[in-house]
Amino acid sequence: MKGRQDFISPLVNPFDIERPIDWSRQFPKRGRIELEIGFGLGEVMLQSAQERPDVNFIGIEQHWERLYKTLKARFEKRAELNEETFLNNIKILRIDARVALERLFEERSINKVITLFPCPWPKKSHVKHRLFSHNFLKLLNSRLEPEGSAELVTDDKKFFKWVLQESPNTGFSWTTEEIAAQFNTKFERKWREEGQETFYKVAFFKKSHVSVPIKKDVEMKAYRLRDFDPQKLQLKDEKADVCVIFKDTLYDPAKNVMMIYAMVTEGHLFQHLRIVIVKTKDFWHIGRAEGQTLFPTNGIARAIKRVYECAKESS
């Protein structure tokens, strides 16, 4: 096996692939898809993939350290056996779970979803960050196959009760139970060391389909102006459903090039954006700078248009 290539082979770059992703082409063989959201150090995902090689597992995790340790654990297990097909049924995404489900998965494409000990975001001001809200459950339902299921386990009883309040009219039936420790994950061990022995489980079962369309890429429009004075440009932030905050500008008068750095937020998707204004012959051209990894969304299109509008005012 080629060391480095094998080490990173489970990683899927969501920006450098056709979306939504055809997951059947990402694995050596076809199989039903199981998704783990927030896999931590990968204990459950690796064990499940080893025990059920006929199932294809996708894990979502945003923390680089945890992701690295999971890749390392998989690599070491494969090296022990020196077997090409061992644990090749795992793919990993570093992305917000909501964004992944909105953009990377077709409707009715996942067999099962598991989420163990997600952050409960206990403060009222942080409710918007919680997984398993009413809208998230409808999105989850949409991506599950007929009769698919989802499983949530939490250490936080208040979060557990909140999830149950969010669950009606999402196309699911559900059961609940109090369970003992059984997953041996880092966070489960942490809670046990602090004296907690009871955890809370919700099992969701898809009963009817709730359609949530895929969020598709938006065509990026470029603009041009005949007259533009870089010294007079005043960028105006936009704070609405799409939030555009302009941070820095850099202008090179010798080359007639201006680079603008902005932050764009729409829902749970936060992106960094560089917009370039460059003069060629008789026109100033305004558009997205090359070499960026981002989703071309309505927010990105709006930010570019906002720069054009501000530049036009400075003409």
Whole-number percent of the chain with pLDDT over 90? 92
Same-domain check for residues 251 and 286: yes
Same-domain check for residues 55 and 202: yes
Residue 108 inside a domain? The answer is yes
Residues 193, 279: Cα–Cα separation, whole Å: 63
| Per-residue model confidence as pLDDT tens digits over 165-203 | 999 999 999 999 999 999 999 999 998 999 999 999 999
Same-domain check for residues 284 and 140: no
Residue 82 inside a domain? The answer is yes
CA angle 234, 237, 239 (to 5 degrees): 160
Residue 213 inside a domain? The answer is no
Tell which of 148, 176, 206 closes a domain.
206
Same-domain check for residues 196 and 303: no
pLDDT at residue 4 in the model: 85
pLDDT at residue 165 in the model: 98
Q: Which residue in 199, 197, 188, 115 sits closest to 156, CA to CA?
A: 199
Residue 28 inside a domain? The answer is yes
Q: Which residue in 72, 32, 68, 69 sits closest to 52, CA to CA?
A: 32
Range of the domain at 231: 223-313
Residue 31 inside a domain? The answer is yes
How many structural domains compose the chain? 2
Same-domain check for residues 268 and 169: no
Instruction: Look up the pTM and report it.
Output: 0.92
